[in-house]
Amino acid sequence: MENIVIIGNGIAGVSAARHIRKLSDKRIIIVSAETDYFFSRTALMYVYMGHMKFEHTQPYENWFWEKNRIELVNAFVNKVDTENKALTLDGSRTLHYDKLILATGSKPNKFGWPGQDLHGVQGLYSKQDLDLLEVNAPNKEVCKRAVIVGGGLIGIELAEMLRTRDIPVTFLVRESSFWNGVLPEGESQMINEHILEHHIDLRLATNLKEIVSDENGKVKSVIIAETGEELPCDMVGLTAGVTPNMDFLKDSGIELGRGIKVNRHLETNIPDVYAIGDCAEQHEAIGNRRPIEAVWYTGRMMGETVAQTICGNRIEYKPGHWFNSAKFLDIEYQTYGWVFSERGMKDYEAHFHWRHSSEKLCITVAYNKETEQFLGINTFGIRMRHEMFDRWLTQEKDVNYVMQHLADANFDPEFYKHHESAILSKYNSDRGTSIKPKKKSFKRIFQLT
């Protein structure tokens, strides 16, 4: 029987294992060093905030693995010997494979700041990081101030976490407005305001120069590059993005770039070795996507794809229309298709932006100036129906059509206030159109005839 070995029990590795099991009887072994069982990394914050216990982040009960004959090995892989098709586990044991799937995820970026390895300085990626946070910042007495470096999705999650324990937080963001490399101006501005509302000391256009140690090798303060100001603190969170986790592959002969290089079939340069999830880097980006996609659902999709290939049906990784979601403190964010920030905007791209007069709600719709084709939407505080936007993107609907049928796409809970007419009246006045909103129709939504 063929021996499939998967390194990494995250969403990518586990999706691959589950689908290989669905399709075949092959022997499946998952080796991972972080935890015994698969858990949802995206939920780590909720454990610190007391919304869930760690066990709640595990999507499958513990008996699931044995029942599905997926063998779990808790060990660290030090070396991959592609010539003999063998792995070295924990420095000693050897494990043979016929096919190897690398699903090793990411690790937090460190940009060589002085003091970045002091006690009290940490990232937020793994279960171990979460446990460490309980040591570094268990409460506001032990941690009188925390400084977070890096204004991305993980940074704002960390800020939210610490605020639930009343710990004062200073948030250093390199950009001139929060996440404005990704978000258009109006949205980024709204999030700035919301961060301040939550009593987070947001410092925009601010870089870290140095982390200062006390006499015990523990963080004492940070120094800000622009002003030279020294901020006393007990904990520093480094959340300036992630990079693929692949140090152990250096001498394996597997081609590495910023990530593990793969082709559209998720194959590396070495036969029978595949890479999926956060750690994989496409030779060429797919559409507007980045070559390395460090998001949850792409890991899942790559796992499903590679399972097909391994079970004899060699197929390409073909992700559909881009979508994603996140939450900034109390504000939910969803995106479908492509809406670029001013920095990354395409020449043909134009935006329509609406923001509610008092509540923290806004949307941005991107369309093609020349062809009027709808390109994508960002929504804040309004939930949207994935199915509708996926379909409209496939059908290449024009922007007027989408605006007119926004009610079909609304996914807010029942009885929520609707904003379609407000949105549309701004749209009409911005663009000189006179579109009337269509009522929601289940017939259209579910394509009933």
Residue 327 or 356: which CB sits closer to other proteins? Answer: 327
Judged by CB under 8 A, the stretch of 240-248, 264-272, 329-337, 346-354 that binds other proteins is 329-337
Residue count at the site for other proteins (CB under 8 A)? 76
Give which of other proteins, ligand FAD, none residue 32 binds (C-beta under 5 to 8 Å, depending on kind): ligand FAD
Residue 101 or 118: which CB sits closer to ligand FAD? Answer: 101
* DSSP secondary structure code for residue 104 in this structure: -
Burial class (CB in 10 A: 0-12, 13-18, 19+), 84: exposed
Task: Say how far apart CA 432 and CA 127 lie, in whole Å.
Answer: 53
Parallel, antiparallel or unpaired: strands 235-238 and 146-149: parallel
- Shortest distance in whole angstroms from residue 196 CB to ligand FAD: 22
Task: Say how far apart CA 404 and CA 409 lie, in whole Å.
Answer: 11
- Contacts (CB under 8 A) with other proteins, residues 295-314: 296-297, 300-301, 304-305, 308, 313
46 in contact with other proteins (CB under 8 A): yes
Single out the residue of 158, 195, 201 nearest to residue 48, CA to CA: 158
Q: What is the chain's length?
A: 449
329 in contact with other proteins (CB under 8 A): yes
Q: What is the 3-state secondary structure (H, E, C) of 352-391?
A: EEEECCCCCCEEEEEEECCCCEEEEEEEECCCECHHHHHH
Give which of other proteins, ligand FAD, none residue 294 binds (C-beta under 5 to 8 Å, depending on kind): ligand FAD
One DSSP character per residue, 284-313 reads S--TTS-SS--SHHHHHHHHHHHHHHHTT-
Give which of other proteins, ligand FAD, none residue 22 binds (C-beta under 5 to 8 Å, depending on kind): other proteins
Give which of other proteins, ligand FAD, none residue 274 binds (C-beta under 5 to 8 Å, depending on kind): none
Residue 120 or 259: which CB sits closer to other proteins? Answer: 120
- Shortest distance in whole angstroms from residue 116 CB to ligand FAD: 18
Residue 23 or 350: which CB sits closer to other proteins? Answer: 23
Task: Say how far apart CA 212 and CA 116 lie, in whole Å.
Answer: 9
Neighbours of 220 (CB within 10 A): 17
Whose tokens are 């008092």? That residue is: 358
Task: Spell out, one character per residue from 119 to 158, where the chain touches other proteins: x when CB under 8 A holds, - when not.
Answer: x-xx-----x--xx-xx--xx-------------------
174 in contact with other proteins (CB under 8 A): no
Residue 329 or 345: which CB sits closer to other proteins? Answer: 329
Give which of other proteins, ligand FAD, none residue 124 binds (C-beta under 5 to 8 Å, depending on kind): ligand FAD
Give which of other proteins, ligand FAD, none residue 231 binds (C-beta under 5 to 8 Å, depending on kind): none
Give which of other proteins, ligand FAD, none residue 103 binds (C-beta under 5 to 8 Å, depending on kind): ligand FAD
Asked whether the beta carbons of 47 and 24 are under 8 A apart, the reply is no
Residue 168 or 241: which CB sits closer to ligand FAD? Answer: 241
Residue-wise over 34-71: b if at least 16 C-beta within 10 A, else e?
bbebbbebeebbbbbeeeeeeeebbeeeeeebeeeebe
Task: Spell out, one character per residue from 365 to 404, where the chain touches other proteins: x when CB under 8 A holds, - when not.
Answer: ------------------xxxxx--x--------------
Parallel, antiparallel or unpaired: strands 201-203 and 169-172: parallel
How far the first Cα of the chain sits from its last, in Å, is 49
Give which of other proteins, ligand FAD, none residue 71 binds (C-beta under 5 to 8 Å, depending on kind): none
Angle subtended at Cα 230 by Cα 228 and Cα 231, rounded to the nearest 5 degrees: 135
Give which of other proteins, ligand FAD, none residue 237 binds (C-beta under 5 to 8 Å, depending on kind): none
The secondary structure element, H or E, covering residue 209 is strand 208-213
Residue 47 or 363: which CB sits closer to ligand FAD? Answer: 47
- Shortest distance in whole angstroms from residue 11 CB to other proteins: 7
32 in contact with other proteins (CB under 8 A): no
Residue choice 36, 53, 250, 396 for contact with other proteins (CB under 8 A): 53
